[in-house]
Amino acid sequence: MSNQSLLSEQVVTAIRGVLGPGPAMLHEPSLKGNEWVYLKECLDSTFVSSVGKFVDRFEVDLACFTGAKHAVAVVNGTAALHIALKLAGVQAGDEVLIPALTFVATANAVTYCAATPHFFDSEARTLGVDVAKLRDYLTNFTEQRSNQCVNRASGRVIRALVPMHTFGHPVDIDGVLALASEFKLAVVEDAAESLGSTYCGQHTGTFGLLGTLSFNGNKTITTGGGGAILTNDAALARHAKHLTTTAKLPHAWEYRHDEIGYNYRLPNLNAALGCAQLEQLPSMLTAKRDLFARYQSAFAQLTGVTLLAEPAQCQSNYWLQTLLLDDDHADQRDEILAATNAATYMTRPVWILMHELTPFKDSPRMDLSTAQWLSQRLINIPSSSGLVSTFL
């Protein structure tokens, strides 16, 4: 028991050593650039709503930063995923492979397509899809019919595979692409957490048919609420814009909509904030790497806990800094959470796994032992880009 108390105290001391006295939120926006200038410009123009130059500029800036050929700004990351899945061909009655270890938006978006999430396991190295294990599973439990991957147990088509770059750490993307090609699955990358993260120098969210970003208030950059769809396919980008803007055909005054559309456009007001935030993204990413390095030194001497580093060949945005408890200390997770939060350093465990949530308890799934193992051992610690400079 004395050792147990010790680790939670040691974690508090390590965090305090990096951040100084609290409080520190898990992830706060940093709004130190042109946010006010652009918001005021937007307000003065009166174009605060569905059209305006900041939406156009934000989309161009996002494409430029990520290297995607096209970016379509939308109202949040969940909406981005919903539309990306639809554009990837997900239909009512399909199944979509998603991680059990993810935020609930990934699973919800699948249900918005009247499809069923099908959960795969993660690997400890990336916190994302375990490609080898998923290949074994698909080999054993699916078959190809007319170039489609069919779940033999349910008889349903598995249409797409959604890798999620957890806490900003890229998954094994080469493995994902090979697997998807082999099993005829469309790849939609959930890059909600990984703006600024690259795999072999290429930005996450640009490898799949489509990728999605989030600019919620807790993300690396924020638009209040917002998201984006990335794609290199011009026709898909046009269709994404069409679907997210009520599917209205262009006309001076006629209101004709040619398919079921959505009101998912990002308001110009929020895009104005996004343009200012994107300008600061490179310096935020530097600050977050700096924070990682400081945490790394602070946690290097602790037994029982490891600070997660970016996978090889990857650059992580270090959206959320993450501790992993070893087997001997996993039972101290809640004590560490309580002690750090009591010391005003906001920490939290990873999300409850999707298959443990009531709405998804009957969804198909493979063995999820690593995700379960991880879910008992992960702790996110304060990660805002402003934390280091605040302390210095």
CA gap 83, 229 in Å, rounded: 8
177-190: burial string, b at 16+ Cβ within 10 Å, e else: bebbeebbbbbbbb
Among 253, 301, 312, 362, interactor with a copy of itself by CB under 8 A: 253
The verdict on 376 binding a copy of itself (CB under 8 A) reads no
The verdict on 148 binding a copy of itself (CB under 8 A) reads no
The verdict on 257 binding a copy of itself (CB under 8 A) reads yes
Segment interacting with a copy of itself, rule: CB under 8 A, options 56-64, 118-126, 194-202, 245-253: 245-253
For 248-261, what is the HEC assignment?
ECCCCCCCCECCCC
| Closest CB to a copy of itself among residues 40, 152 | 40
Segment interacting with a copy of itself, rule: CB under 8 A, options 142-150, 182-190, 205-213, 223-231: 223-231
Minimal distance, residue 147 CB to a copy of itself, in Å: 28
The verdict on 293 binding a copy of itself (CB under 8 A) reads no
DSSP notation for 113-144: TT-EEEEE-B-TTTSSB-HHHHHHHHHHHEEE
The verdict on 48 binding a copy of itself (CB under 8 A) reads yes
Residue in this structure with the two tokens 């004709």, named with its chain if needed: 256
Among 218, 232, 372, 389, interactor with a copy of itself by CB under 8 A: 218
* CB hemisphere CA count around 205 (13 angstroms): 36
The verdict on 216 binding a copy of itself (CB under 8 A) reads yes
The verdict on 358 binding a copy of itself (CB under 8 A) reads yes
Phi, psi of 309 (to 5 degrees): -105, 160
Minimal distance, residue 272 CB to a copy of itself, in Å: 9
Interface with a copy of itself (CB under 8 A), residue total 64
Count of CB atoms situated within 10 Å of the CB of 139: 11
The verdict on 362 binding a copy of itself (CB under 8 A) reads no
Burial of 114 (0-12, 13-18, 19+ CB in 10 A): exposed
Helix (H, G, I), strand (E, B) or coil at 199: strand
| Closest CB to a copy of itself among residues 66, 223 | 223
Closest by CA position to 207, among listed 240, 180, 242, 184: 180
| Closest CB to a copy of itself among residues 28, 189 | 28
| Closest CB to a copy of itself among residues 273, 343 | 273
| Closest CB to a copy of itself among residues 198, 270 | 270
The verdict on 254 binding a copy of itself (CB under 8 A) reads yes
Phi, psi of 255 (to 5 degrees): -105, 85
148 forms beta bridges with 145
The verdict on 250 binding a copy of itself (CB under 8 A) reads no
| Closest CB to a copy of itself among residues 347, 370 | 347
Among 146, 153, 201, 252, interactor with a copy of itself by CB under 8 A: 252
Minimal distance, residue 337 CB to a copy of itself, in Å: 6
DSSP notation for 282-299: HHHHHHHHHHHHHHHHHH
Dihedral of alpha carbons 212, 168, 386, 332, sign: positive
The verdict on 217 binding a copy of itself (CB under 8 A) reads yes
The reply to whether omega before 99 is within 30° of 0 (cis) is no
Closest by CA position to 182, among listed 126, 208, 144: 144
x-or-dash string of contact with a copy of itself, 99-138, rule CB under 8 A:
----xxx--x--xx-x------------------------
Minimal distance, residue 112 CB to a copy of itself, in Å: 8
Segment interacting with a copy of itself, rule: CB under 8 A, options 11-19, 156-164, 213-221, 308-316: 213-221
Q: Which long-range contacts (CB under 8 A, 24 or more apart) does 245-252 make?
A: 245/50
Segment interacting with a copy of itself, rule: CB under 8 A, options 2-10, 128-136, 288-296, 356-364: 356-364
Contact call for residues 149 and 180 (beta carbons, < 8 A): no
Q: Residue numbers of the site for a copy of itself (CB under 8 A)?
A: 28-29, 31, 35-36, 39-40, 43, 46-51, 75-79, 103-105, 108, 111-112, 114, 216-218, 222-225, 246, 248, 252-263, 265-270, 273, 337, 341, 347-349, 351-352, 357-359
